[in-house]
Structure 1
Amino acid sequence: MIVIDQLSKIFKTASSELVAVDQLSLSIEKGEIFGVIGYSGAGKSTFIRLINRLEEPTSGRVEIEGELITGLSKNALRVKRQNIGMIFQHFNLLWSRTVSENIAFPLEIAGVSKEEIEKRVQELVDLVGLSGKETSYPSQLSGGQKQRVGIARALANRPKVLLCDEATSALDPETTDSILALLVDINKQLGLTIILITHEMHVIQKICHNVAVMEAGRIVEQGSVLDVFSHPKKNVTKKFVEQVMGKPDDEVAEDSFIATVAEGHVLKLQFIKENTNQALISEVAKKFKVDVNILQGNIKRTQEGAYGSLYVQMVGEEVTVQEAIQYIEQTSVEVEVITHD
């Protein structure tokens, strides 16, 4: 487990102070993928650099598996960092070294034998899907391939924690998805704890188990990805959720094509986890004498399951419609009547 307690970072100049991270506290479970999201200037990149002390905290503590990172001497920290891998937005590769040589670099620094280095490098090349590129230089690689080298290099010393600082923001959407899939695979295969910093909510949605939302150096909202996505509380969180879910439900309900439905009832169905896998609409149409028309919907998947909303028009006798609504509610799908005739 990673415990971060009252962590702060203040940058001082001759005339002012900038509080980049403000008394931030978090607990991250071993083996999870934990996302931290915030807009530019929220302090998230400073925060992740405080974890391995690439930035020295002004105050507070960081503990990883019972060891106080903020209390280590420089020599002890240098050894400990072998257990904390890190990948960066702009790859930070050594351009004069080949793929294999880039991956080998941290092993050389650690004093690993040449034979062990060759074996480990090949393992990592295979793991990140770069077989055949061992002798290529960074200038000969695509952005996604460069990031795969960065990931392999970060894993060279078999770390227990992997820090990802905007690791996909320089990549196109398709390449981003492939890198995210690789991180999920690494998390499952190696049991690695991953802390991922991003400003893109779809990255959080795709791979994270839990998320913390940062604003002005503080955590303003946190929880499981499913809970935060389905019930965002803070305005900044709602804006991030809109990135992947579109406009808020109250705006959708006011759309003319919904507000002017002349016949029947308009229902909002809120799906969470397993309920999204049920063929609920077809079941209702078969079981009850009602016509059900889908007006609008948005269902997304997370590591915990799927969630989203579906707006439907239901037409039929009032008694039958109410029976159909009660049937839906028994499945634990939340039902809200938006309009009715």
Structure 2
Amino acid sequence: MISIEGLRKQFITNKSTIHAVDDLSLTIKEGEIFGVIGYSGAGKSTFVRLLNRLEEPSGGRIVIDQQEITSLNTKQLRLARQEIGMIFQHFNLLWSRTVRDNITFPLEIAGVPKNERDERVTELIRLVGLTGRETAYPSQLSGGQKQRVGIARALANNPKVLLCDEATSALDPETTNSILDLLVDINEKLGLTIILITHEMHVIRKICNQVAVMENGKIVEQGDVLDIFLRPQQQVTRKFVEQVMGTEDENESIDQLVQSYDQGKIVRLHFIGETTNQALISHLAKKYEVDINILQGKITQTQRGAYGTIFVQMIGEKTELDESVRFVTDDTSVEVEVIRDVN
């Protein structure tokens, strides 16, 4: 669907040349929700603006749905942009226009007849959950409602690709989740390819299938979101994973906690992937003569399933404890490690 080869963007100042995007290559599949994450200055916002040539590339090649965006003239690019919707961190709404008129605007520019415009806008208002707010102005809307207007406007011309540049960064956590749920719904209903730019790993974790990590204009790590959570290779990636899963300081506190227990087995259960048995602990308590105390842990969900770790204390006869650990090891997808055995 999207092929990017050797993409570069340089900004030349009096004193230096800034390589905002530096020899970046990516392939993004049709219908995928693809995340690009990086800290401020990593080049991610420049990258996403290169995709629809709001920024002109210094070099490289971008192909979207078999059309080479980087070779189009001004007229061709204007038409191509109708198939590339974009939403922004600060909404970029027309403050003198109502909700309906904001959504209508790109259809007016495209020359769509009025009856078709009206029908399309009504459909989009329903899709993004703004029924009843059609005549409101942006100043009368909450942040989440403004972003819903921005999403509807971006979808007006039935694009094949939706670019989201820090689309939830200005929103509170609850509103962020509602917007992310809306993007997933749109992806599933319309089969839209979504490229999501963010500096927040929980956003990637919640809705993305694949993720690329940017640093200093380059992609330093890329892969399936669950794989990145499990095996982050770069220091910058590990920092992002810690946003969701906790820090090294928390791991040290777990080590101290484990040492304070003087009976039974202390076991770490590592949950991975969509086949994780969510009822494992209750199942063990019923199947074996063991008491199980949850000491500490954290599990989070990705699009491919659960990922996380729980520390438990298991108390009982040695044979029962050994059998229960063997069951988890052999008969479930949960990885198990005995941290301490004081039987």
**Separation (CA, whole Å) in 2 of partners of 1:290 and 1:274:** 27
**Alignment partners' CA distance in 2, 1:195 and 1:274:** 23
Question: CA contact under 8 A between 1:253 and 1:338: conserved in structure 2?
Answer: no
Identify the residue that residue 291 of structure 1 maps to in structure 2.
291
Bigger Cα displacement from structure 2, 258-267 vs 192-201: 258-267
Residue in structure 2 matched with residue 65 of structure 1 by the alignment? 65
CA contact (8 A) 1:7 1:62 kept: yes
Question: What is the DSSP-based 3-state SS (H/G/I as helix, E as strand, rest coil) of the residue aligned with 2:126?
Answer: helix
Measure the CA separation in 2 of the matches of 1:150 and 1:82.
15
Higher alpha-carbon deviation: 190-199 or 232-241: 232-241
Aligned to 2:176: 176
CA distance in 2, matches of 1:281, 1:63: 49
Deviations 1:277-334 (A, max 9, x none): 4311122222223222111121111221122111111223334322221110121211
Q: More deviation in 164-173 or 314-323?
A: 314-323
1:250, distance to aligned residue in structure 2 (A): 8.3
Local SS of the residue matching 1:315: strand
Residue 324 of structure 2 is matched in structure 1 by: 324
Give me the whole-angstrom Cα distance separating, in 2, the residues matched to 1:286 and 1:248: 34
Unaligned runs of 5+ in 2: none
How big is each residue's C-alpha offset from its partner over 1:166-217, in whole Å with a ceiling of 9 and x where there is no partner? 0000011111111111111100110000000001111111111111111111
CA contact (8 A) 2:93 2:102 kept: yes
CA distance in 1, matches of 2:278, 2:47: 41
Alignment of 1:144-163 (within 5 A): 144-163=144-163
8 Å contact kept, 1:267–1:339: yes
Could you tell me whether the CA contact under 8 Å between 1:274 and 1:305 is conserved in 2?
yes
Deviations 1:111-165 (A, max 9, x none): 1111111111111111111111111111111111111110000000000000000
User: 2:336 — aligned with what?
Assistant: 335
Which stretch of structure 1 is more off in the superposition, 270-279 or 21-30? 270-279
What is the rounded CA distance, in whole Å, between the counterparts of 2:289 and 2:273 in structure 1?
28
1:111 aligns with 2:121: no
Distance 1:119 1:284 in 2: 56
CA contact (8 A) 1:253 1:259 kept: no
Correspondence list, 1:1-341, <5 A: 1-248=1-248, 251-252=251-252, 254-330=254-330, 331-341=332-342
For 2:241, what is the secondary structure of its paired residue?
helix
254-263 vs 294-303, which deviates more? 254-263
TM-score (norm 2): 0.96
Q: State the alpha-carbon separation in 1 of the partners of residues 242 and 133 from structure 2.
A: 39
Identity %: 66
Distance 1:132 1:82 in 2: 27
The one-letter code sitting in structure 2 at the alignment partner of 1:134 is E
